[in-house]
Structure 1
Amino acid sequence: MEENDFASIWLVESGNPAIEKLTQLNLDVASKTSKTLADRGLSSNELAVSLDINPDEIKSWLMGRHTFSAKIIKEILDTMGKSQ
């Protein structure tokens, strides 16, 4: 995860606690997803195929530049569970 990505810079500039919490949650999901992919020997492209989503969008997710919905988190968890 990049330390100087646009979300982190924006948080420092905005200082909004609610936005900071949401952004941190998204960064946490992205980090855990990246770690799980690595632990299971899967690529972001394989996740994209499994979810039928553009690989560039997955890469954006994994960099923490996407707001995860509960639906997407569930789909990711379901997909990761299938690959065990």
Structure 2
Amino acid sequence: MEENDFVSIWLEESGNPAIEELTQLNLDVATKTTKALAEKGLSANDLAVSLDINPDEIKRWLMGRHTFSIKIIKEISDTLADYSMKSV
């Protein structure tokens, strides 16, 4: 996240541990997703096409600017697993 990001500033001022934990979990998912895409030689656009989601939405997720839902985490996981099976 950018240093001047509204959420970061708000978290720094408010110090809400639940929000800090959720933010960190979201960033962890974004980081792991980005790493998995790179390991499979895929781009964010490839993921967008596979999930039939606007590429800008994918970019917001991977930059930590949009919260992942459990549903979308499962869809990403399934999609990446499908790519693994195709390359075997």
TM-score for both structures, normalised by structure 1: 0.90
Mark the CA change 1:5 to 1:30 in structure 2 (over 3 Å): closer, same or farther: farther
Residue 21 (1) aligns with residue 6 (2) = no
Q: How big is each residue's C-alpha offset from its partner over 1:31-58, in whole Å with a ceiling of 9 and x where there is no partner?
A: 0000110111000000000000000000
Gaps of 5+ in 2: none
Mark the CA change 1:20 to 1:54 in structure 2 (over 3 Å): closer, same or farther: same
The answer for the alignment partner of 1:43 in structure 2 is 43
Structure with larger RCO (C-alpha < 8 A, sep 6+): 1
Mark the CA change 1:5 to 1:22 in structure 2 (over 3 Å): closer, same or farther: farther
Residue 58 (1) aligns with residue 58 (2) = yes
How many matched pairs?
83
Distance 1:27 1:67 in 2: 9
Task: Decide which moves more: 51-60 or 11-20.
Answer: 11-20
Distance 1:56 1:22 in 2: 22
Larger Rg: 2
Gaps of 5+ in 1: none
TM-score for both structures, normalised by structure 2: 0.86
Mark the CA change 1:60 to 1:47 in structure 2 (over 3 Å): closer, same or farther: same
